[in-house]
Structure 1
Amino acid sequence: MYNSDSPIRAELPSSKQLFRSTVLAVISAVVLLVAVVLPADYGIDPTGIGRVLRLTEMGEIKKQLAAEAAADAAAAATAGAPVQAPGATVGMASANAAQPPARAAVAAAPKEPAVAAAPKVEWRDEMPFTLTPGEGTEIKLKMVQGAKVQYSWVVEGGEVNFDTHGDAPGKAISYEKGRAVSSDEGVLEAAFTGNHGWYWRNRGQANVKVILRTRGDYTDIKRVQ
């Protein structure tokens, strides 16, 4: 009635062969987990292979983005307002509403001369770039331990979240983090020989332009997509 032939016993794999295949599959899965999945998704690199393949850096960025998203969600739940409305803006609006218009104008006026009187600095490099809503980017400097770099960056059209950090094989450090910041400046001193720089992310609803200016002791500067 049926034309299909049942396999004979000799053609079927033995229990020993099945067990060996299962063991090999488990070992392969463990190797992939340790060498690829952990560095790429969680920034955990016990073997060092992820750092060589640049997977660990990807995992660290994913962890940072996940932490930012969780912090934004927690802030929104506490404030009961949209994430993109920074607390500083709300506080300023409340302060201006509490005082007469004439006094508010007088209080804001002294800030303008301070910006105009800022000393002119001759920068070594200037790197402008645009971030769309939700986009992030990173710029790194190659520095030796103890080297110092003077920097200044400003955001046009909004605010960004940032993380000033450094990394090298087997080493990582975060110097400073900020949320909803429109500018920053200072001196970055390398804690060890390696890559040191900034990561920015646009959490707003519109495109922003970031301009980074640097000068000091570094041999290379590059933008990491």
Structure 2
Amino acid sequence: MQHTVSTKTLVKASVSATVVAAIALVTFILPAEYNIDPTGVGQKLGLTSIAQAAEADGAVAVTGAQASNTEFQTIEVVVPAGRGVEYKFAMPQYAKMTYEWMTDGDALYFDLHGEPEGDTTGYFESYTIATSNEMKGSFTAPFAGSHGWYWKNKTDKPIAVQLQVKGQYEVIGLKQ
């Protein structure tokens, strides 16, 4: 007896495999390999300690003359009503940043992302896209370049963001 597989079945299987791979990447691989834990599950499972141990053992070297900020630096960013702003940091490959931000009320759409150094194509890689009034975590820059947040205010009043960061970076600042 011969079975034929329909295109619909193949598409469903492909989509399912892609979803499972994306979940595995965000939940297990990024926390264990790069100490990037957008969901917090990697820390709860102890996976971020693997990447931290590798950094402590010198397996991941931070290159470049970036500042190593060991104390949290507090930055206030105001996102105007109905507009978006971007706040960026220059980081070498494998540099680590710990961050926490919160708004003074309403939630903002945001995209934590990076742009490779010297790229002129407009390419960027998103690490986390969501809508929230707060977020905390850490990430390791997968490539040298500018990394940071785009916040979009969909309300009719300005929203202030208090951003606290520490790690290996140089402030680029606000890009509107």
TM-score range, shorter chain: 0.5 to 0.7
> Which protein, 1 or 2, shows the higher relative CO under an 8 Å CA cutoff with sep ≥ 6?
2
Paired AA for residue 199 in structure 1: Y
Query: How far, CA to CA, are the matches of 1:202 and 1:186 in structure 2?
Result: 22
Q: 1:138–1:224: 8 Å Cα contact kept in structure 2?
A: yes
Q: Distance in 2 between matches of 1:131 and 1:220?
A: 18
**Matches of 2:168 and 2:144 in 1, distance apart?**
12
Whether 1:203 and 2:154 are equivalent positions in the alignment is yes
Runs of 4+ aligned structure 1 residues displaced above 2 Å come to none
The change in CA–CA distance for 1:203 and 1:163 in structure 2 (over 3 A counts) is: same
Gaps of 5+ in 1: 1-120
Letter in 2 for 1:174: S
Q: Decide whether the 8 Å contact of 1:157 with 1:207 is kept in 2.
A: no
Shift of residue 189 of structure 1?
A: 1.2
Once residues 220 and 153 of structure 1 are traced to their aligned partners in structure 2, the CA distance between those partners, rounded to angstroms, is 16
Give the deviation of 1:182 after TM superposition: 0.6
Structure-1-length-normalised TM-score: 0.43
Give, in whole Å, the separation in 2 of the partners of 1:192 and 1:137.
23
Give the letter for the 2:174 counterpart: R
Match of 1:137 among 60, 78, 85: 85
Normalised to the residue count of structure 2, the TM-score between the two structures is 0.55
Q: Write the deviation string for residues 139-159 of structure 1: whole angstroms up to 9, x where unpaired.
A: 111111111100111000311
Q: 1:221 to 1:126 in 2, by over 3 A?
A: farther
RMSD (Å) for aligned C-alpha atoms: 1.7
Q: Percent identity?
A: 33
More helix by share: 1
Q: Which one-letter code corresponds to 1:144 in the other structure?
A: P
In the alignment of these two chains, the number of paired residues is: 103
What residue in structure 2 maps to residue 175 of structure 1?
Answer: 127
Alpha-carbon distance in 2 for matches of 1:148, 1:173: 16
Q: Which has the larger radius of gyration?
A: 1
Q: Distance in 1 between matches of 2:81 and 2:170?
A: 32
Q: How does 1:39-78 map to 2 (within 5 A)?
A: none
Structure 2, unaligned runs of 5 or more: 1-69
Equivalent residue, structure 1, for 2:102: 154
Q: 1:85-128 deviations in whole A, cap 9, x for unaligned?
A: xxxxxxxxxxxxxxxxxxxxxxxxxxxxxxxxxxxx941x2211
